[in-house]
C-alpha cells in the first residue's frame, strides 16, 4: 500500500468483480430501449478514465466514446469549488438525436457534476440518457440523487486511487483508499 494512504476501502479484485457485474446490468438494461443497439459513452474527465477503460472492455455494444471535461475540485481542493464544463477537451456532438447516451463519472458527491452535465446533454436531444458512477458517497445529497447505475456506495470521506486524484496525483493507485489527513494538511 502507498505510504500516503490511511486505509484501503476497495481492493482491485473487488473493483474488477463488481465492474463485470455492473456491465451485465447495464447491457441488460440498455437492451430494453428500442434502438439500433449502439451506445454513445460520455466519460467525464479526468477521474473516470480508469473506470471507463475497464468498463468498456466488459461492454459488447457497438460504441462511440465522446469526452466531456468538467472540473469542480481543482488542485488541492477537497470540497467542490463549483462545476465548470471545459470546452477544450469536449468532443460530445452538439446533436445527439437518436443516440443512447451513457454518462460515466468516478464519484457522485453533491450531484452538481451529474446535474450540470445531464442538463447540458439533454439539450442535445438524445433518445435516452443513462447515468453511471463508480462511487457514491453515503451522504443525503448523493443517496437521493437520481442515478441509473452505481458500482459502490462508500463512506462520506475524501478518496483517491483508480482514477480519483488529490492535486492530480494518486490516480494510478490500483485500489480506492482514503488519504492520510497529514498529506491533505501539508497542501492546505
Ligand atoms: P459532485 O459534483 O457530485 O459534488 O462531485 C463530483 C466530482 O467531484 C467528481 O467527479 C470528482 O471529480 C470530485 N470528487 C468528489 N468527491 C471526491 C473524492 O472523495 N475524492 C476525489 N478525488 N474527488 C472527488
Ligand atoms: Mg470529476
Ligand atoms: Mg479531481
Domain membership of residue 44 as a residue range:
5-187
pTM of the predicted model as reported, rounded to 2 decimal places: 0.94
Helix H segments across 123-180? 140-143
The closest alpha carbon to 40, from 163, 124, 129, 123, belongs to 129
Q: Are 42 and 102 in contact (CB under 8 A)?
A: yes
| Pocket probe mutation, ligand 1, options 47, 114, 153, max atoms within 8 Å of Cβ | 47
Q: What pLDDT was estimated at residue 74?
A: 67
* 3-class state of residue 26 by DSSP: helix
Count of domains observed in the chain: 1
ipTM of the complex: 0.96
Atom of ligand 1 nearest to the CA of 108: 3
What's the CATH code of the domain at 148?
Answer: 3.40.50.2020
Ligand 2 centre to CA of 136 (Å) is 12
Q: What pLDDT was estimated at residue 118?
A: 97
Cβ-Cβ contacts under 8 Å for 21 (sequence gap 6 or more):
none
- Residue 44's pLDDT band (cuts 50, 70, 90): very high
Instruction: Say if residue 24's pLDDT is above 90.
Output: yes
Amino acid at each position: 500500500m502507498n505510504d500516503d494512504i490511511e486505509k484501503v476501502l476497495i481492493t482491485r479484485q473487488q473493483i474488477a468483480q463488481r465492474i463485470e457485474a455492473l456491465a451485465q446490468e447495464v447491457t441488460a438494461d440498455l437492451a430494453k430501449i428500442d434502438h439500433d443497439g449502439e451506445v454513445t459513452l460520455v466519460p467525464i474527465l479526468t477521474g473516470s478514465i480508469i473506470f471507463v477503460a475497464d468498463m468498456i472492455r466488459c461492454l459488447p455494444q457497438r460504441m462511440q466514446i465522446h469526452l466531456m471535461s468538467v472540473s469542480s475540485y481543482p488542485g488541492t481542493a477537497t470540497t467542490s469549488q463549483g462545476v465548470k464544463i471545459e470546452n477544450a477537451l469536449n468532443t460530445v456532438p452538439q446533436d445527439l438525436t437518436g443516440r443512447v447516451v451513457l454518462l460515466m463519472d468516478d464519484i457522485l458527491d453533491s450531484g452538481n457534476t451529474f446535474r450540470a452535465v445531464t442538463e447540458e446533454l439533454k439539450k442535445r436531444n438524445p433518445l435516452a440518457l443513462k447515468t453511471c458512477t463508480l462511487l457514491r458517497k453515503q451522504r443525503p445529497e448523493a443517496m437521493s440523487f437520481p442515478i441509473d447505475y452505481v458500482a459502490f456506495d462508500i463512506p462520506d470521506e475524501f478518496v483517491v486511487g483508480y482514477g480519483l486524484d488529490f492535486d492530480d496525483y494518486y490516480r494510478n493507485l490500483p485500489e480506492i483508499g482514503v488519504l492520510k489527513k497529514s498529506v491533505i494538511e501539508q497542501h492546505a
